[in-house]
Copies of this chain bind each other. A is one copy, B any other.
């Protein structure tokens, strides 16, 4: 409903979002009740409805939180270098293994939210486009530095790379096997490497 106006309020709001993110990631959005979340956050209903207007509103905040987590981790890598890109892919794979093949914290939430209201659908689209745009910037840097050379636009590369990531997550979660994701990421990496300009003889 409204933003926290004190330090303490902010911390409580964050605690609710954190607990919600964790539970929703594990059980899905519809599979997680407000009461579960509030119990986990050690908060009461009045607190939640003080900061969020509805469960959907909280869900939107959780989506933002998850995206921020992903982008935060991503920022630790210099994606515009080959070694950075590879390290990032490796980290995604490690994360998926560590989280027991439960899927992408943003992607799986997005699927469920897109099947709900128009409002949430729009929020999901916005979140994904922002994610895509961070990749686009990295590929644009690579292009301008001569690391890659292709007719494909950076936007196109960002889309196909993100699709490979999401497809990898989904298949690896569905089949309960890390391999499909490993292979999908490897293919995406190999494809990008194939765009390295040929040395002119």
Contact = CB atoms under 8 A, between A and B. Distances in A.
Q: Say how many copies of this protein the assembly contains.
A: 2
Given A28-B116, A31-B115, A112-B28, A183 B171 contact: no
Contacts of A103: 111, 114-115
Interface residues of A, number: 46
A130 to B, nearest CB: 11
Interface string A159-193: 11011111110110111110111011001000100
B102 A108 contact: no
Nearest to A28: B115
Contact of A183 (B29, B163, B173, B177): B163
B129 A115 contact: no
A174 B128 contact: yes
A116 B31 contact: yes
Contacts of A112: 28, 30, 111-112
Contacts of A26: 115
A110 interface: yes
Nearest to A162: B171
Question: Could you say which of A27, A128, A165, A191 has the most chain B C-beta atoms within 10 Å of its C-beta?
Answer: A128
